[in-house]
Amino acid sequence: MDIDAQAPDADDFLEVAEATRAAFPAPFADLAREVRLMVEEWPSGALLDDLEMDDPYELTGVYEGEALTQRSVEAPAMPSTVTLFRRPILDEWAGRGDVALRALIAHVTVHEFAHHFGWSDGDIAAIDRWWE
């Protein structure tokens, strides 16, 4: 390991997240194009308050918007956003030690897009045994 190496920056994270989205199979690829994809260092205090969370390290990503399954044809949906939080992801990666950083970024990206497609955390957990 190169001790002079720097942690990947937000652009590096975004590159992995965009590649993950680009690899979604049909019909998910088309449905994911409308979502804004961002990387921030930390979740905001207001977001943590909204989610009733105290520890910013516990939030690696968030989907903000109206899930496709909840949209109405009568009212246009607000733009949706998937945001990845770089520092909590890096912390989880370092703490786990059993997964490549690229795989963890991709996993968080897929998880947040699953919410866009209308899946709950319970739905995702039922098919994704990632954390076991």
pLDDT the model gives residue 120? 72
| Domains of the chain, each with CATH number or no CATH | 10-127 (3.30.2010.20)
Q: What is the pLDDT of residues 99-109, one digit of tens each?
A: 999 999 999 99
Q: What is the pLDDT of residues 14-63, one digit of tens each?
A: 999 999 999 988 888 888 888 999 999 999 999 999 999 999 999 999 98
Count of C-beta atoms within a 10 Å radius of residue 101: 18
Q: What is the pLDDT of residues 67-118, one digit of tens each?
A: 766 665 555 567 789 999 999 999 999 999 889 999 999 999 988 988 887 7
- CA 48 to CA 70: how far, in whole Å? 24
CB-based contacts of 61: which residues, under 8 Å, 6+ apart?
A: 82, 83, 84, 85, 89, 108, 109, 111, 112
pTM of the full predicted structure? 0.83
Cis peptide, bond prior to residue 27, ω within 30 of zero = yes
Count of C-beta atoms within a 10 Å radius of residue 93: 19
